[in-house]
Amino acid sequence: MPSALLPIRISDLHLIKGGRAVLGGVNLVIEEPGITVIMGPNGAGKSLLLRCLHGLIEPDQGQITLGHRRIADCRKQQAMVFQQPVLLRRTVLQNLSFAAPEIAKTNPQHLMHALEAVNLADRADQPARMLSGGEQQRLSLARALLSQPALLLLDEATASMDPASVLLIESLVRAQSAQGTKVILVSHDQGQARRLANEIVFVCNGQVVEQSPANQFFTASQNPAAKAYLAGEILI
Ligand SMILES: Nc1ncnc2c1ncn2[C@@H]1O[C@H](COP(=O)(O)OP(=O)(O)OP(=O)(O)O)[C@@H](O)[C@H]1O
């Protein structure tokens, strides 16, 4: 079943930070289920856009609707994984039980399965903050998936992971998407984008400058900034 939070509609989104327009009139409609990968150079505004989508930042101008509803009405159906996860000063398992008290009460075994899925079951009783960066990201994803979100936002969520962990997380994300979760993922990893993306949204200088099916983006992008980015050229 397609995500209840589609279509995602962003209209004329402006965000000022440090006296500068860091998002300068973003317009974007995401209608298709599956995985959308947001790409673009450093400082383009990808993370800020994702944070706006998750309702963590209030834009200075413009509107976002998810499934024709305001973000404030959808928060429980969304989850986000950050590049630097925010974990509680508790054990690995307690980070899950705190996030999902109902599951912890009625089906605690499910929490252990969630840890097994990200290869952290043997770390269940260790302090979460003692995990390595990549392990923390894996825990953060396990926590995000517990709520079976209709929209999953991932901000460079595999950036600190070793290759095997990256593939593990990609398979979990793919499986979650196949269950109907809309996934929007920020990544600089072209290999990852090619493996996962149904569509690419390319952001440059605080604006969406291209939105294309993934195949088309990688083989026939006509956007000069996107072509330069893919070729590894520095964009100013
Ligand atoms: N709180 C802030 N105050 C001032 N400027 C900010 C603030 N937060 C972000 N910015 C600026 O906004 C711009 C976009 O930031 P953002 O983190 O969205 O970039 P990004 O596309 O995710 O980059 P990267 O690929 O490096 O992660 C950057 O130039 C950044 O310096």
Please give the pLDDT value at position 79. 95
Q: Is residue 175 part of a domain?
A: yes
The pair of structure tokens assigned to 122 is 């043997």
Task: Give the end-to-end CA distance of the chain in Å, rounded to a whole number.
Answer: 42
Taking the complete model, does pTM exceed 0.90, yes or no? yes
Q: Is 68 left (phi over 0), alpha (psi -120 to 50) or beta?
A: left
Amino acid occupying residue 114: A
Tell me which residue has its CA closest to atom 7 in ligand 1: 17
Please give the pLDDT value at position 159. 85
The response to whether residue 26 sits with its C-beta less than 6 Å from ligand 1 reads no
Which residues are bridge partners to 80 per DSSP? 153
Say which CATH number the domain at 172 has: 3.40.50.300
The pair of structure tokens assigned to 113 is 């399965």
The response to whether residue 4 sits with its C-beta less than 6 Å from ligand 1 reads no
Instruction: Give the separation between CA 148 and CA 151, rounded to whole angstroms.
Output: 9
Q: Is residue 3 part of a domain?
A: no
- Report which ligand 1 atom has the smallest distance to the Cα of 44: 21
Please give the pLDDT value at position 236. 60
Domain that holds residue 147: 8-230
The response to whether residue 19 sits with its C-beta less than 6 Å from ligand 1 reads no
Task: Give the number of domains in the chain.
Answer: 1
Kindly report the backbone phi and psi dihedral angles of residue 104, in degrees, each rounded to the nearest multiple of 5, phi listed first.
-60, -35
Could you report the per-residue pLDDT of 171-201, keeping only the tens digit for each? 999 999 999 999 999 999 999 999 999 999 9
Q: Is residue 25 part of a domain?
A: yes
Q: Is residue 2 part of a domain?
A: no
Q: Is residue 1 part of a domain?
A: no
Q: Is 126 left (phi over 0), alpha (psi -120 to 50) or beta?
A: beta
- Report which ligand 1 atom has the smallest distance to the Cα of 50: 18
- Report which ligand 1 atom has the smallest distance to the Cα of 206: 14
